[in-house]
Structure 1
Amino acid sequence: MVTIQIQTQDHSYPVYLGEGLRYQVSKLLSKNYHNILVISDDTVAQFDYVKDVVSSLTSNETNIYTYIIPSGEASKSLEQFGNIQTFAIENQLDRHALILAVGGGVVGDIAGFVAATFMRGIDYVQVPTTILAHDSSVGGKVAINHPLGKNLIGSFHQPVAVIYDLETLHSLSLNEKRSGFAEVIKHACIADENLLHKLMNEVRSFNDLSNDILYDSIGKGISIKAKIVEQDEKEHGVRSFLNFGHTLGHALETEAGYGELTHGEGVAIGMVFAAKLSHREFGANPLPEGFVDWLYQLGYRFDIVRKLDVPTLIEQMKKDKKNSHGTIRMVLVEKIGQPSLVPIDEHVLKIELEQFQKEVVRYVKGI
């Protein structure tokens, strides 16, 4: 087991990374809780991961409650948020209760937001079961979606621990592996050129994701995020760099309809487009030769870009939380490991998106 310590301005917590940790949750908690609410989704529950976690918690002194949401981005809704709050109130949870989020990014986001707001904030622990959640489970950003945009309703609420059992990643579908791996690529792009080249050399398909590669790449991804979060917990500065690829990515997710495009697929497309703008801004292509071909080989879809209306995408991009005084600001990279937040003129954005729609034809056709 590897332990990575996360230090924010007024809070410190461990990230435990290892195998079989879902059976050791009670041992890894820093204190005892009289009431514990386990929140998960129906996909995770079918693999018995919830059962495994609950079994590790069972004692005569602890009341354990379980709430299962439907899997998928659509569950990050005001309605589902209200339902969980009602369940917690009806079961008489108090300010000293604990919420355990067992699942991927959707579960972690909504469970974390429930924890941030129930009784004005209670403890929660992230128990990630996806590659994607190596990013979302660390750093304390919790949120739900609004029909008009992704993650527009949320807060900053740090977990008291992250317990990451790598064994759960082997049950992921191909789509889930692809979605999560995009965030690993993102961390490499903004902070670790050597990691990016290693991934491009060693991962030619998702059958290549061995335990050694997962340990190394996820551990490095978490460490990269930890370093940034320590500098900027509330996203006033460098933390925005973690949103490389997300400005267009979130817009694509919203316009395609939640569930039609995975988060990672949106981010992958967004990174390629951000690199295109980086080339325009800084005069050189920051991505390694063959990067886009590698993404295509791994199965990332580009066709969705051609199907969506550019002015509508831009309106979605205007809702991005990085924007300032009505100006769209995007994370670009001068070169791998050197990100910056750059204002983008709306007219330029329209021209570049329309050109991008034409360029992705090659990857749609597989030419």
Structure 2
Amino acid sequence: MKKRVKHVELTLALLAVQLVLGQGASVGQRGQREPVDAYGNALLAVGPLLILARRRWPIAATAGTAAATALYLLGGYAYGPPFISMALMLGWLVIDGRRWAAWAMAAVMLAFFEVYAWLAGNQSWFHVVAISTFMALLMVAAELVRIVRERRATTARAEEEEHRRQASEERLTMARELHDVLAHNISLIHVQAATALHLIDDQPEQARTALATIKAASKEVLGEMRSVLNVLRDGAPRTPTAGLGHLDDLVARSGLNVVLKRLGTRPLPPQVERAAYRIVQESLTNVARHAPDASVVARLEYREDELMIRVTDTGSSTPGVLAELGGGNGIPGMRERATALGGVLSAGPHGSGFQVTARLPLPEERS
């Protein structure tokens, strides 16, 4: 609707300009050209009125404007006014991508102008060159506008595609975050619930401790899920849902015999800190699933160019309550996190237990 209104406004404006210029040119060229009469004014109105049909029939509208221009000149009327609508129509035809039709019509009109000028007695080379130069400049200008518009459209499409790719990566990251949050906390809740059921009759105080752990874990999973889901909402801050500053809480909630060792310290990029936390979390989840009675050493070593994470457990002769559920996506997920940051992760048997080692590259520390 807005485009239609703009076309009507442009038609009325151009119609007024051509009719007024037609009268002015007729006065200025009195004695040399015929005065503009009703037929001449009708021909001057053709080009502006065909703007309304240009979007639906662009080639026909341009051809009609060119024909009205030719008839205007053949009628002997003053030079000038009809050239405006003809130039606009040819330029629009090029910009809209119908280049061959535009160049063909421009060539036909140029030939007509040259022949008409020769028949009218303007046989100088200057006149020939002037007409040819005007037509060439008009078409080249239209081509330049077309090229600029196409480049802008290409850039806009590339930016939109990049935006979609980033959004897809964010969703994948959030899905991984959600998986890690649920896998760890639900596994912890399951283990502690089994412990509570086992001890509730003989050792109620220890069962109470297990239930308290379940309460804390459920509260934690709800909080982290809310944080992860908030990231998916428009305008939500893109911040890590967990970091290494929460490792002590993670170890305390795990219900495992864990020794946490930190060698050195330095600021870490958010993505590295989040990945490191999730790797430790998933490693402890696997211990809780398969060897809940094992002793665990979680070691973080802050090196100059990398963060080394090593989680080692001693193994257990008693299968975990979740071991019968089989393997999941824990180790592949940890490896994907490390690889995404340019690091490496290995996981496998270590003595009677299991060991996960990850090396995450770090940027050079600024002095």
TM-score bracket, shorter-length normalisation: under 0.3
Structure with greater strand percent: 1
User: Given the two structures, how large is their TM-score scaled by the length of structure 2?
Assistant: 0.23
User: Given the two structures, how large is their TM-score scaled by the length of structure 1?
Assistant: 0.23
Higher relative contact order (CA 8 A, sep 6+): 1
Structure with greater helix percent: 2
